[in-house]
Structure 1
Amino acid sequence: MQRVTYVSAGLLALALLTACSAKEPAPEGIAMAGGARGPAVSFSPQDKTKDVPTDQPVVVSATSGKLRSVRVAGSKSAPLEGELSADGTRWRSLGTARPGTEYTVTAVSVDAAGKQTTTTSTFATVKGKETFDIETITPNKEYTGLTVGVGMPIMIAFDKPIKDRVSVERNLIVRSSKPVEGAWHWFDDQHVDFRPQKYWPAHTRVRVEARLAGVRGGPGMYGKRDVTLNFKIGRSQITKGSTDEHVLIVRRDGKKIRTMPMSAGKGGVWKYYTTSGIHLAMSREPVTVMTSPGIGPGQPGYYQLTVYNTVRISNSGEYVHSAPWSVGSQGSANVSHGCVNISPDNARWFIKNTLIGDPIIITGSPRKLEPTNGWGHWQENWKQWLKWSSLKAGPTIALS
């Protein structure tokens, strides 16, 4: 999704660089094009402008003749990329300039007779006091691998609070090989996540382009760098389980491939309920040590267990895992401390066949999964999700 808002060039004063006769001196602010009559070229920002916002586009127009080339070179950065209109009369920069940088704009134009003229203009961007950066972006190779499930959100954490959410969000670009409707969602000033309206189509390639270098994140604060992430959506696998029916059913690409008896949270005085809702597989752990939350050794209800072949589904300690001690209850009763118990054989199969981001949907429990509990993004309906987006939802950009 991309939403880019530009300042209209018509709102800016344009310095016309054109030729004047010897009898008629050039007015202030107008330059001679090589000392002879040539195509008239205008610049925005105008020549010698200071404190230009980093997100203001550079526009070069040929008011007569055509532009052959335009180069915008920065004193402290790489040249700005741009594109020329089909008729060759207008060039506009793409991306964002760097703060505290002086830029020189060099335009090569040609008139109807084929005469070539070079004109230049300079401007300086506003100075920044500090920078912000992406602290983490998920999915990533180290944490999840680069092939993920159809429910996988894109999650970005910043190292500093973002005040100008619109400026940042419109520079977070999502491309995909299969188009999806999607939107970003701010959980707080340092966390913004993206998800489609519906699950990703299976086998979709996705690229995230965080074009944040020079982007305003707040008063005097600008993005430090650009970040790009590529990942793939795997096959569609959705697991559904019922705490009333005590069974997990795994469907891959719409076909049932495994049925597993389960035992969920037993509730009771300690309220050991498995949460109902759309969970996502968050991690796959061969060994996990589980300890009773808020209950210390020697206190009633305390436990500490070493558990094998676990798939985490929330931040509140819920897993789908091997539980040889409850096999007799699996399929008929809920006896766990809140996790989903399955047999050792089923647990070995499940951890091997689950991708991070696979939906795992649990129903029947009186306790609901909170949207902020782990990756509970799908707990919010689309209207709720959009409530915390700074821009309108839209389709992802095509990825070739």
Structure 2
Amino acid sequence: MSALLGVVLLTLTACSGGGSGDPEPDDRSAETAEVSISVAPDDGATGVATSGELTVGAEDGTLTEVRVTDPEGTEVSGELTEDATGWAPSEALANDTEYTVAVVGENAEGTEGTRTTSFTTLAADATFTSNWNISDGAEVGVGMELSVTFDTPIENTDAVRDAIRIVTEPPVEVRGHWFGNQRIDFRPEEYWAPGTQVDIQLRVRGVEGAPGVYGTAREDIGFTVGRSQVSTVDVNTLTMDVVRDGESIRSIPVTTGAPGYETWNGRMVITEKLVETRMNGDTVGYGGEYDIPDVPHAMRLSTSGTFIHGNYWGGGVFGNSNASHGCVGLRDVQGAGDPGTDAAWFFANSLIGDVVEVVNSNDDIIAPDNGLNGWNMSWDEWGV
């Protein structure tokens, strides 16, 4: 028996030794360490912060799948490191929510390892709501700005700004600017290019806007930029030149603010369209100077009450004299029923987000936060 065993051992040595010298190592028999998967926070942890604590890592291998889900099965988006050995969420987590972390990794030999944990995030002391001005799927003019407002003052303005992500096609840089601590507007440096698709990810949920106060909004919306239309109102000539896609398509006689009621200068964006509306001087600090219940074809240019609208009571002022209380008036008829008037034509041919620029008025340039009029700020100022 011993002799036979010796023969077998000699034979194996001869086969694996390559004929002479020290034997070559056999890679097939080399041991490979199992992938080690780490998850923070620990399994079963409670009171976990909504940002900055969740991380996944791999040693002696790489991560091939990371799924973080809430009780409804909604996944948290995240990003792998370039070498696939780490993962972190790309958005804040919801407050007071249990999350399950399921991870798959593999070592250099392709052998898989798995790990599953769970944890619960901290509850919010208070929450803040977010409201925005553009409906999903809207077609807008080239001057549209995304404006997001909050129902409580924001202290961590950078964190909230960064949680509102905007992607465009074709690509263009978009910056946000805070007006005070409850409103942030977003726009590119120049007017949007016609046809631009704008996709917005509101990821404010779980973002701590102020100590103990967390956001609740998590929504995706998008809008499309239509044709370019920019109309210039010249107070000296009392005309409005309507330019579409670089070509002047109509010149319209207008009336603007009378002495003492001058119309703002500057670039203003149409934010609202009303076939008929009541205009009362009491609402804008002019007392009982006027109260017109049926102003036709009214389009808002400022929060403070500047409109471009139809006027059926002005007689022959259009193109001849300035007679308004600061609005831009166009010839119209009572009841807004005549599609052939200048006001009806302009109303039908305008989009929310179109630009109306007033020049040569004796008033100041309109404030950038009086409506969606941030185009009156330089790009350098806007990024601050």
Q: Give 1:113 deviation, angstroms.
A: 4.5
Q: Give 1:171 deviation, angstroms.
A: 0.8
> Could you say if the C-alpha distance between residues 128 and 280 of structure 1 is closer, same or farther in structure 2, counting changes exceeding 3 Å?
same
Pairing 1:1-400 to 2, within 5 Å after superposition: 38-45=34-41, 51-56=47-52, 58-74=54-70, 78-85=74-81, 88-134=84-130, 136-140=131-135, 146-267=138-259, 271-293=260-282, 294-297=285-288, 302-305=289-292, 306-344=294-332, 345-368=341-364, 369-387=366-384
Q: Contact 2:37 / 2:114 at 8 angstroms: preserved in 1? A: no
Equivalent-residue separation in structure 1 for 2:106 and 2:368 (angstroms): 59
Letter in 1 for 2:290: Y
Equivalent-residue separation in structure 2 for 1:77 and 1:158 (angstroms): 28
Q: Give 1:354 deviation, angstroms.
A: 0.7
Q: Contact 2:140 / 2:353 at 8 angstroms: preserved in 1? A: yes
Q: Contact 2:149 / 2:184 at 8 angstroms: preserved in 1? A: yes
Q: Contact 2:318 / 2:330 at 8 angstroms: preserved in 1? A: yes
> Could you say if the C-alpha distance between residues 318 and 116 of structure 1 is closer, same or farther in structure 2, counting changes exceeding 3 Å?
closer
Q: Contact 1:57 / 1:93 at 8 angstroms: preserved in 2? A: no
SS in 2 for 1:262: strand
Q: Give 1:148 deviation, angstroms.
A: 0.9
> Could you say if the C-alpha distance between residues 47 and 295 of structure 1 is closer, same or farther in structure 2, counting changes exceeding 3 Å?
closer
Using the size of structure 2 for normalisation, the TM-score is 0.80
What is the aligned length? 341
> Could you say if the C-alpha distance between residues 246 and 214 of structure 1 is closer, same or farther in structure 2, counting changes exceeding 3 Å?
same
> Could you say if the C-alpha distance between residues 112 and 277 of structure 1 is closer, same or farther in structure 2, counting changes exceeding 3 Å?
closer
SS in 2 for 1:326: coil
SS in 2 for 1:197: coil
Equivalent-residue separation in structure 2 for 1:65 and 1:335 (angstroms): 77
Equivalent-residue separation in structure 1 for 2:378 and 2:82 (angstroms): 43
Equivalent-residue separation in structure 2 for 1:384 and 1:259 (angstroms): 34
SS in 2 for 1:328: coil
2:9 is matched with none
Equivalent-residue separation in structure 2 for 1:295 and 1:116 (angstroms): 75
Equivalent-residue separation in structure 1 for 2:229 and 2:171 (angstroms): 20
Equivalent-residue separation in structure 2 for 1:240 and 1:281 (angstroms): 13
Q: Contact 2:299 / 2:307 at 8 angstroms: preserved in 1? A: yes
> Could you say if the C-alpha distance between residues 291 and 62 of structure 1 is closer, same or farther in structure 2, counting changes exceeding 3 Å?
closer
Letter in 2 for 1:304: D
Equivalent-residue separation in structure 1 for 2:159 and 2:213 (angstroms): 12
> Could you say if the C-alpha distance between residues 208 and 330 of structure 1 is closer, same or farther in structure 2, counting changes exceeding 3 Å?
same
SS in 2 for 1:72: strand
Q: Give 1:77 deviation, angstroms.
A: 7.0
Q: Contact 1:327 / 1:342 at 8 angstroms: preserved in 2? A: no
> Could you say if the C-alpha distance between residues 295 and 262 of structure 1 is closer, same or farther in structure 2, counting changes exceeding 3 Å?
closer
1:337-362 per-residue CA deviation (whole Å, 9 max, x = no partner) reads 22222222111100000111111001
Q: Give 1:46 deviation, angstroms.
A: 5.1
User: Where do 5+ consecutive residues of structure 1 fail to align?
Assistant: 1-36, 388-400
Equivalent-residue separation in structure 2 for 1:105 and 1:69 (angstroms): 10
Q: Give 1:175 deviation, angstroms.
A: 1.4
Equivalent-residue separation in structure 2 for 1:114 and 1:77 (angstroms): 28
> Could you say if the C-alpha distance between residues 227 and 246 of structure 1 is closer, same or farther in structure 2, counting changes exceeding 3 Å?
same
SS in 1 for 2:103: strand
Using the size of structure 1 for normalisation, the TM-score is 0.77
Q: Give 1:68 deviation, angstroms.
A: 3.8
SS in 2 for 1:167: helix
In percent, how many aligned pairs have the same letter? 34
1:95-138 per-residue CA deviation (whole Å, 9 max, x = no partner) reads 2222334444343333345543333455443332122221x211
Q: Give 1:378 deviation, angstroms.
A: 1.5
1:150-175 per-residue CA deviation (whole Å, 9 max, x = no partner) reads 00100112222222112111110111
Letter in 1 for 2:265: S
> Could you say if the C-alpha distance between residues 259 and 41 of structure 1 is closer, same or farther in structure 2, counting changes exceeding 3 Å?
same
> Could you say if the C-alpha distance between residues 78 and 309 of structure 1 is closer, same or farther in structure 2, counting changes exceeding 3 Å?
closer
Q: Give 1:49 deviation, angstroms.
A: 5.5
Q: Give 1:274 deviation, angstroms.
A: 1.1
Q: Give 1:200 deviation, angstroms.
A: 0.6
User: Where do 5+ consecutive residues of structure 2 fail to align?
Assistant: 1-32, 333-340
Equivalent-residue separation in structure 2 for 1:69 and 1:328 (angstroms): 73
Larger radius of gyration: 2
> Could you say if the C-alpha distance between residues 177 and 111 of structure 1 is closer, same or farther in structure 2, counting changes exceeding 3 Å?
closer
Higher relative contact order (CA 8 A, sep 6+): 1
